């Protein structure tokens, strides 16, 4: 299963990706793909050394479009069998203590180096050609908003998990995501994050009015807030109950 974790900037995509990866890793082999071209906290939250970006293995951002899908797949796949993340060269996968494997697409870092479109194309190509065993799950932590939707990055994934913070803006974006991916026959789940008890029902109601269903709730959690503030391993045992409930609701455990 290939799940794209999407949503408004700051809604909690990276935190929720790590928490879900942890919960899923008890029964599945879990890969986390960092497809955010800007942010750098994900390896820290997971407690691993940042892996080398795949874009570098392929010769850098400038060469991605000229290589095209076939050459990218040939460079990353073994013996024409599609891409198997486990087989990426040493240094391009970092493994956490729970066994979660982190892969990074690439980051924009230098003034005038050009846009992130080649990175989006690389993520799309990787997802489309990724071969998974039945018990393997890939979670893709995306960049904020829906630029990646415009690029069709989701083509190769089967499920969208929209992370929504308690704002009208986040719900409106989730509605666009739902409508887009329903038309493409992909599963759609919505998780409300950073929820204080008082706002859960009003947000559920607002979501309903917008033809959205809240599939799970993660409460506002001081531990998540603090780990993100310090830039340390996500220490959020208190949030794991919420995450386990979500996985049960959506039928992943």
User: Contact residues for ligand ATP (CB under 6 A)?
Assistant: 7, 9-15, 36, 39, 144, 193-194, 218, 220-221, 224-225, 228
Binding site partner of 228, from ligand ATP, Mg ion, none, Cβ cut-off 5-8 A by kind: ligand ATP
Which CB, 128 or 175, lies closer to ligand ATP? 175
| Angle separating helix axes 13-24 and 237-250, nearest 10 degrees | 80
Three-class SS of residue 16? helix
**Minimum distance from residue 32 beta carbon to Mg ion (Å):** 12
Which CB, 6 or 127, lies closer to Mg ion? 6
Which CB, 125 or 142, lies closer to ligand ATP? 142
Query: What does the DSSP 8-state code read for residue 78?
Result: S
Binding site partner of 144, from Mg ion, ligand ATP, none, Cβ cut-off 5-8 A by kind: ligand ATP
Which CB, 11 or 129, lies closer to ligand ATP? 11
Residue tagged 């759609």 (tokens): 188
* Dihedral over Cα of 91, 97, 98, 99: its sign: positive
**Minimum distance from residue 67 beta carbon to ligand ATP (Å):** 27
Q: Among 217, 212, 170, which residue's Cα sits nearest to residue 192?
A: 217
Q: In the range 31-50, which residues lie near Mg ion by CB under 5 A?
A: 39
Which CB, 68 or 145, lies closer to ligand ATP? 145
Instruction: Tell me the residue number closest to ligand ATP, measured at CB.
Output: 228
**Minimum distance from residue 154 beta carbon to ligand ATP (Å):** 17
* Two structure tokens written together for 210: 């917008």
Report the distance separating Cα 231 and Cα 236, nearest Å: 13
Report the distance separating Cα 192 and Cα 242, nearest Å: 11
CA-based Rg of the chain, rounded to a whole angstrom? Answer: 17
User: What's the gap between Cα 77 and its chain centre?
Assistant: 22
**Minimum distance from residue 15 beta carbon to ligand ATP (Å):** 3
Three-class SS of residue 212? coil
**Minimum distance from residue 57 beta carbon to ligand ATP (Å):** 24
Q: Among 12, 36, 21, which residue's Cα sits nearest to residue 164?
A: 12
Residue 200 phi/psi, 5-degree rounding, is -60, -50
Q: Is 14 in the site for Mg ion (CB under 5 A)?
A: yes
**Minimum distance from residue 32 beta carbon to ligand ATP (Å):** 12
Binding site partner of 218, from Mg ion, ligand ATP, none, Cβ cut-off 5-8 A by kind: ligand ATP
Applying CB under 5 A, the residues found at the interface with Mg ion are 13-14, 39
């Amino acid at each position: 299963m290939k799940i794209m974790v999407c949503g408004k900037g700051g809604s909690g995509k990276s935190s929720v990706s790590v928490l879900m990866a942890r919960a899923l890793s008890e029964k599945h082999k879990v890969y986390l793909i960092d497809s955010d071209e800007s942010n750098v906290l994900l390896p820290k939250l997971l407690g691993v050394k940042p892996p080398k970006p795949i874009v570098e293995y392929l010769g850098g951002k400038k060469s991605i479009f000229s290589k095209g899908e076939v050459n990218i797949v040939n460079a990353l796949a073994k013996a024409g069998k599609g891409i198997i993340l486990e087989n990426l060269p040493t240094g391009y996968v970092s493994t956490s203590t729970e066994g979660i494997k982190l892969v990074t697409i690439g980051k924009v870092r230098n003034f005038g180096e050009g846009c992130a479109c080649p990175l989006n194309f690389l993520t799309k190509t990787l997802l489309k050609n990724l071969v998974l065993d039945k018990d393997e799950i890939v979670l893709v932590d995306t960049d904020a908003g829906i630029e990646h939707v415009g690029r069709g990055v989701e083509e190769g994934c089967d499920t969208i998990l929209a992370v929504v913070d308690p704002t009208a803006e986040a719900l409106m974006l989730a509605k666009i995501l739902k409508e887009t991916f329903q038309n493409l026959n992909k599963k759609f789940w919505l998780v409300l994050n950073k929820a204080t008890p008082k706002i859960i029902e009003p947000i559920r109601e607002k979501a309903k009015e917008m033809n959205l269903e809240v599939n799970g709730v993660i409460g506002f959690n001081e531990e998540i807030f603090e780990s993100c503030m310090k830039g340390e391993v996500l220490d959020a045992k208190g949030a794991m109950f919420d995450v386990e409930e979500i996985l049960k609701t959506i039928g992943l455990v």
